[in-house]
Amino acid sequence: MENGEYSKELDMAVRVVHLACALCRRVQEGLLLVGNDLVKAKDDDSPVTIADWSVQAIVSWILSEYFGSQNVSIVAEEDVQTLSKPDSSSLLSAVVKTVNECLAEAPKYGLQSPARALKTSEILEAISRCNSTGGPTGRHWVLDPVDGTLGFVRGDQYAVALALIENGKVVMGVLGCPNYPLKKESFHYQYKAASPKLAQPCSDSLEKGCVIYAKRNCSGAWMQPLVHGNKKLEWPNSASLIQVSSIDDPALATFCEPVEKQNSNHSFTAGLAHSVGLREQPLRVYSMVKYAAIARGDAEIFMKFARTGYREKIWDHAAGVIIVEAAGGVVTDAGGRPLDFSRGVYLEGLDRGIIVCSGPILHEKIIGAVYASWDSSSL
């Protein structure tokens, strides 16, 4: 990993995301075996699992230990309200057990384990500490502990996303994608025809899972395969440079969009796709794995147009944006402006939607199509 500005922060972030991915894999295997007893619905009906809270706890604890809790401001998705309710005692116990088991493995990644098992109160405090609201000044870590929780509980795609924002600008990002097939063909096979096939052609777990990262003013975006517990891979893991696809003909381009209809208008993106000449069926994929697909050259376009009233949150985009840009791609809102991460928890001032492309030619065509078709849409 390169030296220079933010190199210490990036090194720490990559290690902690690898550790978080190992935790998520274990929890996901357990969910698929025993069912969804440990999945809760939040106030907005979105699901949350022991992995969400556990990852937030370990990231918060490790960053605070390393940089000093007084120096660490974390903007993150989860709070402890659900976890602190009287009927959540079994859930809380599971989180405490998961966090301590995970932290015991921290030395595998060159990270410090606590001297003793953390108490329930210490784990709740670590989760609660992630209560920053970001803003235009200062340094803020931005964490989505399990992005795509619905994909996670279904055994599908999800991501662990950690970014660093300084004075309103994203300066580094790390995306852990534990279920991402390392072969492009496997990814396309799984998501063609907009209906994910859960039975993957690659049964060997070594063929999936990676951590992708980038930082400002560094040479490109990098990918490491996940370290697997059953294989004695030494840390540090080997990294390879990734870059966006060179395809700029819409007829050959692959287009990704969210699975969930409540925060993405599929009919509008279908109309846009048709008007710019996209022939492929969209790949409907959970989580920020869509950003990873663009950065790795596995797809060329990701479009998201949320319905009126939906507000995009910075933790759903920060890590993905800097990684795609470092890999050579373009990310803007539908008006062609950069996304603004300086205004707190939400991407305020967003013009209609988000457009992510592998290059400027495709990007300009889609921006043009948005302007041409917007007035006739029902968004």
| DSSP bridge partners of 76 | 143
Nearest to 229 by CA among 17, 16, 25, 62: 25
Q: Where are the domains of the chain?
A: 7-242, 250-376
pLDDT number for residue 233? 52
- Give me the mean pLDDT over the 12-24 stretch: 97
Our measurement of the distance from residue 238's CA atom to the centroid of its chain's CA atoms, rounded to an integer in Å, reads 21
Query: What tokens does 347 get?
Result: 């991407």
pLDDT on residue 193: 47
pLDDT band at 114 (very low <50, low <70, confident <90, very high): very high
Whether 172 and 164 have beta carbons less than 8 Å apart is answered as yes
- Over residues 39-80, the pLDDT tens digits come to 666 655 567 889 999 999 999 999 999 999 999 999 998 889
- Residue among 163, 141, 159 at smallest CA distance from 290: 159
The answer, yes or no, to whether residue 199 has pLDDT greater than 60, is no
Quote the pLDDT of residue 307: 84
149 is catalytic: yes
349: region left, alpha or beta (phi > 0 left; psi from -120 to 50 alpha)? left
Q: Give helix 360-373 / helix 266-276 axis angle, nearest 10°.
A: 120
- Burial class from Cβ neighbours inside 10 Å (0-12, 13-18, 19+) for residue 344 reads middle
Helix, strand, coil shares of the chain as percentages rounded to 5?
A: 40, 20, 40
CATH superfamily of 7-242: Fructose-1,6-Bisphosphatase, subunit A, domain 1 (3.30.540.10)
Weakest mean pLDDT among 119-128, 175-184, 233-242, 293-302: 233-242
Among the listed residues 108, 1, 96, 90, the one whose alpha carbon sits nearest the alpha carbon of residue 39: 90
Does the pTM of the predicted model rise above 0.85?
A: yes
pLDDT classification of 36: cutoffs 50, 70, 90: low
Q: Which residues, other chains included, contact 151 with Cβ-Cβ below 8 Å and sequence gap of 6+?
A: 157, 158, 259, 285, 286, 287
Q: Residue 110 — pLDDT band, cuts 50, 70, 90?
A: very high
Options 49, 82, 98, 149, the catalytic residue? 149
Residues 254 and 263: their CA atoms lie apart, in Å, by: 21
Fold of 250-376: D-Maltodextrin-Binding Protein; domain 2 (3.40.190)
pLDDT tier at 190, thresholds 50, 70, 90: confident
